[in-house]
Structure 1
């Protein structure tokens, strides 16, 4: 379970980190170029499944390490951070996905939509990286 929590949480970092690394260039794109580039994300919802899988793995990890208070706290932190990621996604990212029909419809104020979508992914890169660190530390902790 420890290995699975590390791997799944690490895999959950990939998509938001990719968005973070491309953020600077995408925020400078014209409307036309931006909508062309957004087509590369068709089918990325599958990658999003790593997040609920990591939530389940970290819940199982918390049960497994419950006798070690620090490891339990770290696993709980990973769980809380994954829930924060989901809240950010549901509050800022997904409403833009719906409003733009996954960037196939151009909203009137597309730049605001772009900001919400891009920055919510960037914040989630940091949140998910912290979850990965917490899950890793919880998994590596050996009770003396």
Structure 2
């Protein structure tokens, strides 16, 4: 559940990407920096992101004795950590840069900052989608039933 909630803001970024890349400097900076339409994506999104990672790690530990399920779950957890690391490396520095634009002129090469911010969000959406896919798959893979045991439906 937390992974799907974490994926939601990322998918919003991905789906908005084509249109936002057509914004001129004034509109993009106004919407993104000055009006900060993504304000809750950072605060609420951070709770979802950290919760998703922790839940995936707990799930990985719980299924550690089931080889195939363990590796699929581990893959999902690793991808969630990778998405978070990517956010720290590529999005957070842009957020810090944009904060400076509130009191300083927007640099002439603003497109470079915009592109890094937009594309890093898009890549994170794809990584999280893969992570969610693996985590869902991990709970759909059947564990072998020991001989003589009955399946409770």
Give the alignment's TM-score, normalised by structure 2: 0.84
Q: What corresponds to 2:22 in structure 1?
A: 28
Using the TM superposition, name which of 106-115 and 59-68 deviates more: 106-115
Q: What corresponds to 1:44 in structure 2?
A: 41
Q: What corresponds to 1:127 in structure 2?
A: 127
Q: Give, in whole Å, the separation in 2 of the partners of 1:140 and 1:103.
A: 47
Mark the runs of 5 or more structure 2 residues left unpaired by the alignment: 145-153
Q: Select the structure that is richer in helix.
A: 1
Q: Give, in whole Å, the separation in 1 of the partners of 2:115 and 2:101.
A: 13
Q: Give, in whole Å, the separation in 2 of the partners of 1:14 and 1:121.
A: 12
User: For the Cα contact (< 8 Å) 1:99–1:107, is it kept in 2?
Assistant: no
Using the TM superposition, name which of 27-36 and 41-50 deviates more: 41-50
Q: What corresponds to 1:9 in structure 2?
A: 3
- Going from structure 1 to structure 2, the CA distance change for 1:22 and 1:102 (only over 3 Å counts) comes to farther
In the TM superposition, residue 18 of structure 1 has moved relative to its aligned partner by 0.4
Aligned with 1:74 (options 55, 64, 72): 72
Superposition misfits of 4+ residues, deviation over 3 angstroms: 102-107
Give the alignment's TM-score, normalised by structure 1: 0.89
- Going from structure 1 to structure 2, the CA distance change for 1:102 and 1:118 (only over 3 Å counts) comes to farther
Pair 1:113-2:110 in alignment: no
User: For the Cα contact (< 8 Å) 1:9–1:54, is it kept in 2?
Assistant: yes
In the TM superposition, residue 102 of structure 1 has moved relative to its aligned partner by 8.1
Q: Give, in whole Å, the separation in 2 of the partners of 1:102 and 1:118.
A: 18
Root mean square deviation of aligned Cα? 1.5
Mark the runs of 5 or more structure 1 residues left unpaired by the alignment: 1-6
Q: What corresponds to 1:4 in structure 2?
A: none
Alignment length, in residue pairs?
138
